[in-house]
Structure 1
Amino acid sequence: MPVVPVGSQIFDLAFHPTSNVVYTGLLNGKVKAFTYDDQGVHSPAFELRISKRSCRGLALSPDGASLYAVGKNKSLHIVDTGTGALSETRQGVHDAPINCVVHPTPHLLATGDDDGVIKLWDPRKQDAVRQYTQHFDFISDFMWLQDKKQLVATSGDGTLSVMDVRSKKPEPFAHSEDQEDELLSIVPFKGDTKVAVGTQLGIISIFNRNKGWADCVDRVPGHPNSVDALCAVPSTYPSSQNTILTGSSDGLLRVIELLPTRLVGVIADHGDLPIERVAIDRAGEGRWIGSVGHDEALRMTDLREVFEDEDARHAKTEDDEEKDDTSSDEENAGERVKKRRKKDKGELEGRPQKKGRNQIDADPSFFSGL
């Protein structure tokens, strides 16, 4: 596993959508960028101090030309990724430190601060185009729903809200009930029909979009500590529809299948230090997943070693089942021939019973390894 030391705690990371470049936002106010090759061998690209205070959030424009950085100094910084130079700083765009930023479309940027204020921006304009104040505690994460043009935000106040960016109303499209726990991270799965939310107590709350946003429909326990980061799996893997990656404050990066739920495995270990953020390169469709936390290093894990081996095991299991079924059919056919020769009266008597292909031996302790 490639480990990239940076010399300071990392609050956030972002991968370039088309190039092998990763950017890190640090506690000391710096942005450090690194290039990497197919083997994970890295080298420094540039280092830039954007503030004397911490850089908490990073987001790249969809074309990768600009990097947006936010942090404790309440300002919005724009970095030219081609030159590694600071191209613009918009001072004091929030009244409180900014905790996270997302850039889902070319003309939409969203920022969320420690007081729960969310602002929408058109990067071509200097001022925010809309502001939301439905939350009263820090904004922890954003999720973009392309089909409905909706932005979902999670908050430390225990609720999530859904904003229709096409609407000019200052109120959200939907606002959940109090989940009685800090909501720290969010990711869609099952073709964006369901949403997983990580919480402070280690529960993953499941929301079903077809049933509304008022309350979760299921809760998945098992993590011994908070679930600070969630990430979807690249769509190229057969198991991507119901598989997510979870970063926890116990320092472990896990692969988990949902509905039905099982722990696939632990793929990265940051020791006893929390994992703050996780991200996958190539706009979420690449082979490298980066995880960062309090250990002052970026850890990169090759997803091919995780999921292609898992898919191979699944394929082998299915092939073995088919061979067993074929063997059973041949044996049964031979048995019927013998019975005809012997002129037995009951052709079905004594036929071996095959195990159903969908029959499984359920193990209720799937999270015992957590």
Structure 2
Amino acid sequence: VLLHTPFSQCTTIQTGSSQQEDSRGCEAEKETTIMTEDLSEDEEKVKEPRVRETPEDVTFDATVNTIAFHPTRDVIAAGDVDGDVYVISYSCEESGNEELWSSGHHMKSCRQLEFTQNGQELFTVSKDKSIHILNVERGKLVTRIPKAHSAAINSLKLIDENLFATGDDNGLLKVWDLRKGTSLMEMKNHDDYISDITIDQNKKILLTTSGDGTMCVFNIKRRRFDLQSEFQDGDLTSLAIMKRGSKVVCSSTAGMIYLFNWDGFGATSDRFLVPGESIDSIVPVSDTILCTASMDGVIR
């Protein structure tokens, strides 16, 4: 009689001539168990990588000034204070992040970067006063505009496939035309650095915020300056168009969020204080919700 117990432990009760036959049966059971255990080990080796809720953090050797998402791929670009630019693919799989390439063409801090709408090129601006255009697939420098401004460039906004805008530390705004290889509009209406630039959906009205505490409005179709807002407390650091184009939101170093009506850029329609320190950046996540990033390291 052969009794099979867990872990292939065999207990044999022998009677007469059946002893040898039962021993062979016990050995067969042992072999079957060993093969099953080996199979389980192989299955463990080919187990799928663990999937996280978010990608793993990406670390850099120097402080990062600016980041941008690729429009169609799981790829981000980052520019740091050393002037280096990194393009990284990210994944929620464990150890799924990968550096695709890096560029060290800027001599000083990379302050702003942005992918083109088709994702084929990456624009970067720097404290070294230059503008670079890089091929995203190969990581190669395609176009370089040295001394694009007389002062360090602080902000960048792509308008369409041909036009883009830049703002510098002296408050000068330039709108560039890639077809001509030069700027088609230059306006200096701010008394301090231009911190951020945005454009409306019609690619007609361009808005800028500045360290002088004001927002300026430009009509790029007619190449003219329209108006400047009232002075606000602290530097205006970032802006966004929301509520289907009916509201403009600005952040400040005083920890304030300022709201402007689209047809009332001269004065704020509302304001509220965000707990914490200076608000350095705001990013809309929907038409009615935005995230703020403050000097205390908290995203709200």
Q: Which TM class, normalised by the smaller chain length?
A: 0.7 to 0.9
- Give the distance between the partners of 1:165 and 1:137, measured in 2 at CA: 21
When residues 64 and 148 of structure 1 are mapped into structure 2, their CA distance, relative to the original with a 3 A threshold, is closer
Residue 240 of structure 2 is matched in structure 1 by: 187
Q: Any idea what the Cα deviations from partners look like across 1:96-147, whole Å, max 9, x if unmatched?
A: 0000111131122000000000100112222111101001100001121113
Q: Which amino acid letter does the alignment assign opposite residue 290 of structure 2? A: I
Q: Which amino acid letter does the alignment assign opposite residue 120 of structure 2? A: A
Residue 36 of structure 1 is matched in structure 2 by: 90
Residue 126 of structure 1 is matched in structure 2 by: 181
1:225 and 2:280 matched? no
Task: Determine if contact 2:159/2:203 at 8 Å carries over to the other structure.
Answer: no
- Give the distance between the partners of 2:105 and 2:155, measured in 1 at CA: 16
How far the C-alpha of 1:148 sits from its partner, in A, is 6.2
Residue 163 of structure 1 is matched in structure 2 by: 218
- Aligned to 2:61, the other structure's residue is in SS state coil
1:26 and 2:80 matched? yes
Correspondent of 1:137 among 178, 192, 196: 192
Residue 100 of structure 1 is matched in structure 2 by: 155
Unaligned runs of 5+ in 1: 234-239, 255-370
Residue 30 of structure 2 is matched in structure 1 by: none
Q: Any idea what the Cα deviations from partners look like across 1:314-365, whole Å, max 9, x if unmatched?
A: xxxxxxxxxxxxxxxxxxxxxxxxxxxxxxxxxxxxxxxxxxxxxxxxxxxx
Task: Determine if contact 1:160/1:175 at 8 Å carries over to the other structure.
Answer: yes
Residue 204 of structure 1 is matched in structure 2 by: 257
- Give the distance between the partners of 2:170 and 2:132, measured in 1 at CA: 20
TM (norm. structure 1) is 0.64
Residue 5 of structure 1 is matched in structure 2 by: 59
Task: Determine if contact 1:53/1:72 at 8 Å carries over to the other structure.
Answer: yes
> RMSD value over aligned CA atoms?
1.4
How far the C-alpha of 1:174 sits from its partner, in A, is 2.0
Identity of aligned residues (%): 33
Task: Determine if contact 1:179/1:215 at 8 Å carries over to the other structure.
Answer: no
Q: Which amino acid letter does the alignment assign opposite residue 60 of structure 1? A: F
- Give the distance between the partners of 1:38 and 1:125, measured in 2 at CA: 43
Residue 248 of structure 1 is matched in structure 2 by: 294
- Give the distance between the partners of 2:276 and 2:213, measured in 1 at CA: 19
- Give the distance between the partners of 1:102 and 1:148, measured in 2 at CA: 11
Q: Any idea what the Cα deviations from partners look like across 1:215-252, whole Å, max 9, x if unmatched?
A: 1111111332111111111xxxxxx3321111111101
- Give the aligned length: 245
Residue 46 of structure 1 is matched in structure 2 by: 101
Q: Any idea what the Cα deviations from partners look like across 1:79-108, whole Å, max 9, x if unmatched?
A: 111110111211101000000111131122
- Give the distance between the partners of 2:97 and 2:159, measured in 1 at CA: 27
Q: Any idea what the Cα deviations from partners look like across 1:149-208, whole Å, max 9, x if unmatched?
A: 211100000110111110133xx1221121232100111222121111101110101111
TM (norm. structure 2) is 0.78
1:82 and 2:82 matched? no
Task: Determine if contact 1:75/1:93 at 8 Å carries over to the other structure.
Answer: yes
When residues 103 and 148 of structure 1 are mapped into structure 2, their CA distance, relative to the original with a 3 A threshold, is closer
Task: Determine if contact 1:62/1:104 at 8 Å carries over to the other structure.
Answer: no
Task: Determine if contact 1:57/1:71 at 8 Å carries over to the other structure.
Answer: yes
- Give the distance between the partners of 1:98 and 1:132, measured in 2 at CA: 14
- Give the distance between the partners of 2:274 and 2:91, measured in 1 at CA: 36
- Give the distance between the partners of 1:123 and 1:6, measured in 2 at CA: 32
Q: Which amino acid letter does the alignment assign opposite residue 68 of structure 2? A: A
Residue 38 of structure 2 is matched in structure 1 by: none
- Aligned to 1:52, the other structure's residue is in SS state coil
When residues 24 and 148 of structure 1 are mapped into structure 2, their CA distance, relative to the original with a 3 A threshold, is closer
Correspondent of 2:268 among 216, 225, 229: 216
Unaligned runs of 5+ in 2: 1-53
Q: Which amino acid letter does the alignment assign opposite residue 214 of structure 2? A: T
- Give the distance between the partners of 2:160 and 2:92, measured in 1 at CA: 28
The structure, 1 or 2, with the larger RCO (C-alpha pairs under 8 Å, 6+ apart) is: 1
Bigger Rg, structure 1 or 2: 2
Q: Which amino acid letter does the alignment assign opposite residue 289 of structure 2? A: T
Task: Determine if contact 1:223/1:248 at 8 Å carries over to the other structure.
Answer: no
Task: Determine if contact 1:61/1:106 at 8 Å carries over to the other structure.
Answer: yes
Residue 67 of structure 1 is matched in structure 2 by: 122
Q: Which amino acid letter does the alignment assign opposite residue 177 of structure 1? A: E
Q: Which amino acid letter does the alignment assign opposite residue 269 of structure 2? A: V
